Amino acid sequence: MNTLMRKSLLAVTGLTFAGGVVAGPISHAVAAEAATPVAKPAAAAAVSVDKPAPEKLMPNGTPSGNQSQIGLNDEQKANAKAIVAATKKAGMDERAAVISIATSLQESKLENLGHLGDANDHDSQGLFQQRPSSGWGSPEQITHPEYSTTAFLKGLKQIDGWEKLPLTVAAQKVQVSAYPDAYAQWETQAADLVTQYWNS
């Protein structure tokens, strides 16, 4: 009897054929299970990542003044991401990230500036134009995005009620800029960047 005919005959009698040897009867449950096609697992549902709520980003509502916006290159985007990451690492919320990014947009356009020679504002450097001579850290430290962001956030945390202050007021209390109202123009773009990178 050839192998094919033997397998067919064994199948009819409820016996299994394993490697040329009759293995014994198959229980009806096992046989039914073997005959039932295995359902393929459903594709995993796409994970929905919630975006930060607008009231967390801009608790005072949409800015009423003129807003500025610039296109960002890869380096600037990476610096925005670094600010968001440092803010989260510091245990601070989305509003702190918005204030930080808006401040950096005003101070450096999200560029990690080294010493600019004659064009330098005193000895200001880095994403936030922090000055070594004012105690912000060494040039190496303040040109490190995580360090400079953490230094900015430490200053922000010392301001009572910073979370509810207008952005430009909160930023100015940390930066003490000659142009205290300039930070406000970047609030919308900063909020957009935090929305984009907070959960990425």
Half-sphere exposure of 72 (CA within 13 A, CB side): 21
Residue 79: what pLDDT?
98
Kind and range of the H or E run holding 103: helix 94-108
Residue 62: what pLDDT?
84
Kind and range of the H or E run holding 94: helix 94-108
Range with lowest mean pLDDT among 42-56, 86-100, 102-116, 185-199: 42-56
Q: Mind listing the pLDDT tens digit for each residue in 117-127?
A: 555 556 789 99
Phi, psi of 165 (to 5 degrees): -70, 150
* Second CATH level (architecture) for the domain 54-197: Orthogonal Bundle (1.10)
Q: Mind listing the pLDDT tens digit for each residue in 55-114?
A: 899 998 988 889 999 999 999 999 999 999 999 999 999 999 999 999 999 999 999 987
Q: Say if CB 110 and CB 174 are below 8 A apart.
A: no
Encoded tokens for 127: 């994403």
Q: Tokens 């984009």 belong to which residue?
A: 196
DSSP of 124-168: -BBTTTB-GGGTS--HHHHTSHHHHHHHHHHHHHTSTTTTTS-HH
β-pairing, 21-25 vs 15-18, is: antiparallel
Under DSSP, is residue 125 helix (H, G, I), strand (E, B) or coil? strand
Beta strands in the chain (DSSP E): 15-18, 21-25
Q: Say if CB 186 and CB 102 are below 8 A apart.
A: yes
Q: Say if CB 152 and CB 124 are below 8 A apart.
A: no
Encoded tokens for 145: 């995005």
Q: Say if CB 171 and CB 186 are below 8 A apart.
A: no
What residues does each domain of the chain span? Answer: 3-35, 54-197
